[in-house]
Structure 1
Amino acid sequence: MTKEPKDLQDVGSKPDGSSLWRHRDFMLLWSGQTVSEMGSAVTQIALPLVAVIALNASTFEVGLLAAAGTLAFALIALPAGAWVDGGSKRSIMIVCNILRLVIIGSIPVAAAFGVLTMAQLYIVALAAGVCTVFFDVAYQSYLPSLMSAEHLMGANGKLGTTQAFAQLGGPSLGGGLVGAFGAAGAMAVDALSYVVSVLSIFGIRKREDPPKPRTDESLRRRIAEGLRFVIGHSVLRKVVACTGVANLFSGMSWSLAMVFLVRELHVSPALTGLVMAGGAVGGIAGGALAGRLAKKIGSARIIWVSVLVFGAPQVVVAFAWPGWGVLLAPLGWAIAYFAGMVYNVAQLSYRQSVTPPELMGRMNAAVRWVVWGTMPLGGVLGGLLGTLIGVRPTLMLALIGSWAAGWFVFFSPFRHMRDIPESVPEPATP
């Protein structure tokens, strides 16, 4: 367990929201990440629009561009965890954001000189994805060194709220910027957002303990050590199974979302974004209330309650019908986002509290490698089953499967615990 930083002791040791608002280092990290998340959400809209509008890309080329942005998670997540554990997480975050500033900023520069190509977009998507992998692993591993374990739930909740808010407001902001400055010009906003993030991280006063040198082990052995820790930990293993299965079925449902709205519910393409935004509202509420719910229900119990109880009504999406019945779709997705955000905040806080600091990066990388790896498979299964048995039955199956993943964490020690103990014995790994 990490020691409580002195600047947090000054404001009191109770894990309430007001103490985090007065935690200078966390507020710097949070504010910088908020700006960066909004910029990244703009790029999610602007990058494919650059390909379509400026370069007249085909549907297949746009699909390859989307794949290039996520390929890095499958390729380098595991070695990224080992490298993060062997270096300064704060320095890695700064370097990654400087590199993303240059990489993303190259697009509006190339467009201005008339030399932009699809090859450059592919390289930018892949290179920015690599930086994102390293930043995200370092980011999740750095937070426990910034504050005590009792404040992790509240801190992760605020960071989760930022992500959900970016998902809600980012596309609208991106559309407005594209209309005002063009698709390439809008990407300059994302590039500048990394400047704010870098300055915020530079302003953090607390320094993490330097990592112990590990010159006696190969990279492969260090990666294997992180995997063994996750697989050998009886509770973490259940958390990974729950998250991975839930992401598999979520990938199925989201792959069918647009088809369901347009072809089954007859929603106009112009309104589909508004309907999908309903889910982000649930995510914002989940991030804002995760800490309070954990205190009321229990920081351990909330992990399975969030999925099996809060998430159960999400199946109403599959019962939506044209007309006013369309409202069941954003309602169900908002419930799913709410339950998912509360679960993610709780399980991430647990993972951070039970992992030794020297394994933090590899643990986060190993978990992310597994649970993100199931999402593309879910998309393929969704398209296949949607063709074979129909969109609505497949969507119902996906929603039920996502909810049923919660039984993995129910049949674990969490079922007999109310709160996560402050000191958790380190499990033996095989």
Structure 2
Amino acid sequence: MASPSSAASDCGRPVPSSLWRDGDFRRLWAGQTVSQLGEHVSLVVLPLFAVLTLDAGAGELGVLRAVGQAPILLLSLFAGAWVDRWRARTVMVLTDVGRTLALGAAAVAALLGRLGLPALFAVAFTVGALSVFFDVAYQASLVRLVDRDQLVRGNSALEGSRSAAQIGGPALSGALVAMLSAPIAAASGALFFALSFLSIGRIRRSESLPPRSERPPRVWRRIQEGLRFVVGDGSLRTVCLASAAFQFSLAALMTVYLLFLPRELHLPGTAIGLALAATGPGALLGSVLAARLPRRFGHGAVLVSAAALGDGVFLCVPGLRGSPAVTVPALLAINFVFGAGGQLVNVTVMAVRQAVTPDGMQGRTAATITFVGMGLTPLGSLLGGFLAQEWGLRSSLLVTAAGMMLSPVLMALSPLARLGRALRPRGTRRRPTTTRP
């Protein structure tokens, strides 16, 4: 497979030595940033609209979140197989257009007073399905766009932009729903996706794709190749299991959390948006730390410590009581620590995955990890709704927060915890279960 540098030379333009002097990387970064902002806006707008405007109960909110997350389980593996054979830029542009139309239609329906729960379910599923393809494609696109020695810096920039989206998305969506209307909030999400389409569509460099045979393997065979590759690597296998435990518990927790804030702590929409947005500044800190700590203390030690701290802080939430003057600052601190730990884990895990994965397997590996790691989130959301109804909000929060602690435990007991300061590509060592991929 030709390197991105040679692909760029074929187009008559050498790859700049600095990522930020590379116009195509800037276009990818800008498009991914606004796309992530649109995604985070929609993730908060749709549940808040259901709770605050349609007076949805715990069970209905659980179903709504499960419907939006179901495409992860249904489509992730297919998305990985297809992205490995398509141009990632084309996939990202088409999904941006689709999400623009879906949220635009939701805004129009809401303005006409016809955005009920069934329509909300349809919009959530559509946006979730298209987001699966976009997320797999943008992870694969970086490997095709930049040199291997630029991956850490590129990932740090892209994950930093996702952190910025976590700052702006919840705060903006909560404020728009509370002060203006759900149609405006949905329309803002559509606008972000449209801006992403305009930016990513201007990428000029040709992508270097794996050579295609005259008779390409069937989709199921390509999916099986991705599954075998991930299962055969001890580090990637642990990433899948730890991610599954975390995402399942987090989905259950967030269903309860979005009910706990307005109904138990009696917070208005703006305060909820502010509290959720505190995850973003924490994630920005996590992105900065991810560029330094793994190389100083080792990737394994950083992963276990960051996961334990970031997940464990949510055990404090069920104990919150009192006026917003007390609870809001506490929530800001909790979400900040959660964001920092979570982002540190995310960036470090992505560096591990990309280091051990060949170029032609990047899409399928990302999709397999997404499928296994997040495939159970619809069931987690349903469980959160059930627990909230049967056990009450505080007890449910405590149980689901404790469930997230299984993730750092699995990491600590696995070869992933022994990863050192340097990561080696898969080809440099034959044994897939080595402690240094």
State whether TM-score is above 0.5: yes
Counterparts of 1:134 and 1:146, CA distance in 2: 18
2:414 is aligned to: 412
* Alpha-carbon contact 1:103-1:128 (below 8 Å) kept: yes
Q: Percent identity?
A: 32
2:365 is aligned to: 363
* Alpha-carbon contact 1:154-1:290 (below 8 Å) kept: no
Map 1:96-135; keep pairs closer than 5 Å: 96-108=95-107, 121-135=120-134
How far residue 253 of structure 1 moved from its aligned partner, in angstroms, is 3.1
> What amino acid is the match of 1:346?
T
How far residue 121 of structure 1 moved from its aligned partner, in angstroms, is 4.5
Pick closer, same or farther for the CA change 1:255–1:155 going to 2, 3 Å: same
2:156 is aligned to: 157
2:227 is aligned to: 227
**Secondary structure, aligned partner of 2:170:** helix
* Alpha-carbon contact 2:99-2:127 (below 8 Å) kept: yes
> What amino acid is the match of 2:380?
G
2:21 is aligned to: 22
Pick closer, same or farther for the CA change 1:319–1:296 going to 2, 3 Å: farther
Which region of structure 1 is more displaced relative to structure 2, 416-425 or 106-115? 106-115
Q: Deviations over 1:381-427 (max 9, x none)?
A: 44556677765555444434423422333333444442243433366
| Superposition CA RMSD, Å | 3.7
> What amino acid is the match of 1:368?
T
Map 1:278-289; keep pairs closer than 5 Å: 278-289=278-289
1:15 is aligned to: none
Q: Does 1:337 align with 2:336?
A: no
Q: Does 1:203 align with 2:202?
A: yes
How far residue 176 of structure 1 moved from its aligned partner, in angstroms, is 4.9
Q: Does 1:32 align with 2:31?
A: yes
> What amino acid is the match of 1:292?
R
Counterparts of 1:167 and 1:102, CA distance in 2: 22
How far residue 209 of structure 1 moved from its aligned partner, in angstroms, is 1.4
2:295 is aligned to: 295
Counterparts of 1:106 and 1:293, CA distance in 2: 45
**Secondary structure, aligned partner of 1:5:** helix
How far residue 251 of structure 1 moved from its aligned partner, in angstroms, is 2.9
Counterparts of 1:400 and 1:115, CA distance in 2: 40
How far residue 332 of structure 1 moved from its aligned partner, in angstroms, is 2.9
Pick closer, same or farther for the CA change 1:112–1:256 going to 2, 3 Å: closer
TM-score (norm 1): 0.82
How far residue 347 of structure 1 moved from its aligned partner, in angstroms, is 0.3
Which region of structure 1 is more displaced relative to structure 2, 2-11 or 360-369? 2-11
Counterparts of 1:10 and 1:371, CA distance in 2: 34
Counterparts of 1:337 and 1:86, CA distance in 2: 34
2:247 is aligned to: 247
* Alpha-carbon contact 1:87-1:211 (below 8 Å) kept: no
Pick closer, same or farther for the CA change 1:226–1:395 going to 2, 3 Å: same
1:354 is aligned to: 356
How far residue 33 of structure 1 moved from its aligned partner, in angstroms, is 1.8
Counterparts of 1:66 and 1:428, CA distance in 2: 40
TM-score (norm 2): 0.81
Counterparts of 1:272 and 1:61, CA distance in 2: 20
Which region of structure 1 is more displaced relative to structure 2, 185-194 or 136-145? 185-194
Counterparts of 2:115 and 2:318, CA distance in 1: 43
Gaps of 5+ in 2: none
Pick closer, same or farther for the CA change 1:328–1:178 going to 2, 3 Å: closer
Pick closer, same or farther for the CA change 1:374–1:44 going to 2, 3 Å: closer
Which region of structure 1 is more displaced relative to structure 2, 393-402 or 287-296? 393-402
Pick closer, same or farther for the CA change 1:115–1:320 going to 2, 3 Å: closer
Q: 1:374 aligns with which of 376, 394, 399?
A: 376
> What amino acid is the match of 2:38?
G
> What amino acid is the match of 1:151?
Q
Pick closer, same or farther for the CA change 1:99–1:279 going to 2, 3 Å: closer
How far residue 31 of structure 1 moved from its aligned partner, in angstroms, is 1.1
How far residue 319 of structure 1 moved from its aligned partner, in angstroms, is 4.6
Counterparts of 1:298 and 1:169, CA distance in 2: 32
Which region of structure 1 is more displaced relative to structure 2, 353-362 or 400-409? 400-409
Map 1:293-332; keep pairs closer than 5 Å: 293-308=293-308, 315-322=315-322, 326=327, 327-332=329-334
How far residue 346 of structure 1 moved from its aligned partner, in angstroms, is 0.6
Counterparts of 1:314 and 1:52, CA distance in 2: 22
Q: Deviations over 1:333-383 (max 9, x none)?
A: 322221111001110121122112222111111111111123333344445
Counterparts of 2:108 and 2:262, CA distance in 1: 37
* Alpha-carbon contact 2:309-2:338 (below 8 Å) kept: no
Q: Deviations over 1:183-223 (max 9, x none)?
A: 33443333332332222223323322133325252222221
Q: Does 1:138 align with 2:145?
A: no
